[in-house]
Amino acid sequence: MRRVVIRTARRWLYISHRWVGIVTCLLFVMWFMSGIVMMYVAFPNLSDKERLAALPDIAWERVELSPDDAMKAAEAARFPRDLRLSMLAEEPVYRLTGWDGQRRTMSAIDGRAITAISEQQALAVARQHPASRAPQLAEMVDRDQWSVTARYDSLRPFYLIKLGDEAGTELYVSSRSGEIALDTSRSERVWNWLGAIPHWIYPTVLRKDGPLWRLVVLWISGICLIVAVSGIWIGILRVRLKRRDGMGRITPYHSWMAWHHLTGLIAGLFVLTWMVSGWLSLDPGGYFADRNTAREAMRRYAGHDAPDIAARLPTPRQRDVVEARFVWLDGRPLMIVATRDAVRTPIDPASGEAVRLAPDRLWVAATKLIPDAHLSERQLLRDYDAYWYAHHGERELPVLRAVFDDEARSWFHISPVTGDILGRTDHSRRSYRWLFNALHSFDLPLLLMHRPAWDILVVLLSAAGAIISVSGVVIGWHYLRR
């Protein structure tokens, strides 16, 4: 009876793997091939450096309102999460972001609220972009393939402007505030149809509904994960280590079946870890949910909450400033000015002179982030490590790391130049770093230090996974023809 049960279970294991695998192997092929593309072409995104490079110099002589006046005009009850001064074409404006995520744009000339901009203003914004040649309006866009995510909701709809350069750059300029929300190039758009879009199952019609997209991808990747597990199990059951055939082969199969079996034995574990880590990236159960720094922690770090910062607006000595950001740090007001090449300098709002932030003062402010916990370690990172590295994007160095002994074992990374909190991580996010970044992207310290080794290893393993998948597709096609 036991043998009958085992024989029946094996039979159904083979049957289910065969027929479900016919469909899912197509997905595996897509994931492995698109993953190679994603190693070198990221999904379009506007970096802070790109954003600053497209801003004109602030016309300080035209600024009539102080930051305090702007907050008063915006009827701010508390100091906003973000307060910046920059240019909207030829007009200086204050941009405020509240703790509820609401954005306000106020004229720095007369304090009026700016809720819409014209086509001509949008084109004037586009002309400031370094790639601008002959900008022209292509169309009005509410949501498309590149602006599909919810992060852009407060800026919609967009003026889609073609810059007329050789790279085919297109800008998304918010019709509400005049901010550049996104830029894409022709090569990014083409390669992402072969990379991120198929890899993430990212068509606009599905991705515009975030919860539905997440559910669909969870189920699809979950089923593929079961197929991968069953395939490894079958591969082990069918391997011949003791009873080889006359030619000494360890597989009983021939042709495509042999390729499928042998490559599955060699690279099956990597396929499985990629599937598990990819499935975990969707954070089933919410265990790895992002822990943003809470408003109360930021208020304690700032040491101030009232909607005021200075009686007047000082003019910094630099004349190439494109943005000024107003913050509080441990009860001290600061104006952080940025140039077009993304160099930031703290300014004393009272004198207009540049200031250097003392590390001791930053550590004192950091102790207030979690008042019920002890700041157990104060680290100065001069080089990247396993948790602070710049493989897929730029990260500031040197950086301060404040380590707390709270229940979540929180770490805060702080800029020693501006005092900005660059990020917070806890034990769950550090676990995610190893379960996803290490297993899925192979972001391992030793490999990251030797980039050609990382490229070669990931491409070879992806190619092995593609062979497993392609052979499965061919085998499935033969079965369907029968």
56 and 7 in a common domain: no
Helix axes 451-481, 2-38, angle to 10 degrees: 130
| Tally of domains in the chain | 2
Q: Residue 314's pLDDT is what? A: 64
54 and 31 in a common domain: no
Boundary of a domain, candidates 259, 288, 317 = 288
Per-residue pLDDT at 139 exceeds 80: yes
Query: Which band of pLDDT confidence, cut at 50, 70 and 90, is reported for residue 67?
Result: very high
Query: Which band of pLDDT confidence, cut at 50, 70 and 90, is reported for residue 174?
Result: very high
Boundary of a domain, candidates 268, 288, 308 = 288
What's the average model confidence in pLDDT over 183-191?
A: 96
- With residues binned 3-state (H G I as helix, E B as strand, rest as coil), the percentages for the chain, rounded to 5, are 45, 20, 40
Average pLDDT, the chain: 89
Q: Residue 315's pLDDT is what? A: 67
> Mind giving me the DSSP string for 356-390?
---HHHHHHHHTTSSTTS-EEEEEEESS--SSS--
Q: 5-9, 20-24, 95-99, 150-154: lowest mean pLDDT where?
A: 5-9
Q: Any idea how long the chain is?
A: 482
Q: Residue 235's pLDDT is what? A: 81
What's the average model confidence in pLDDT over 70-98?
A: 94
- pTM (whole model) above 0.85: yes
Boundary of a domain, candidates 288, 306, 324 = 288
Q: Does residue 157 have a cis bond before it (omega within 30 degrees)?
A: yes
273 and 233 in a common domain: yes
Q: 141-155, 244-258, 362-376: lowest mean pLDDT where?
A: 244-258
Residue-range definition of the domain harbouring residue 141: 48-192
Q: Residue 269's pLDDT is what? A: 85
CA distance 329 to 262: 60
Residue at 475 is within a domain: no
Q: Is the dihedral of CA 294, 296, 301, 306 positive or negative?
A: positive
CA distance 386 to 228: 29
CA distance 221 to 444: 24
Q: 12-26, 41-55, 303-317, 436-450: lowest mean pLDDT where?
A: 303-317
Q: Residue 246's pLDDT is what? A: 53
Residue at 347 is within a domain: no
Per-residue pLDDT at 349 exceeds 90: no
Q: Residue 125's pLDDT is what? A: 95
Please give the residue that has the higher pLDDT: either 187 or 392: 187
Helix (H), strand (E) at residue 13: helix 2-38
30 and 98 in a common domain: no
CA distance 335 to 238: 68
* Percentage of residues in the chain having pLDDT higher than 70: 95
Nearest to 279 by CA among 87, 405, 129, 439: 439
DSSP designation for 318: -
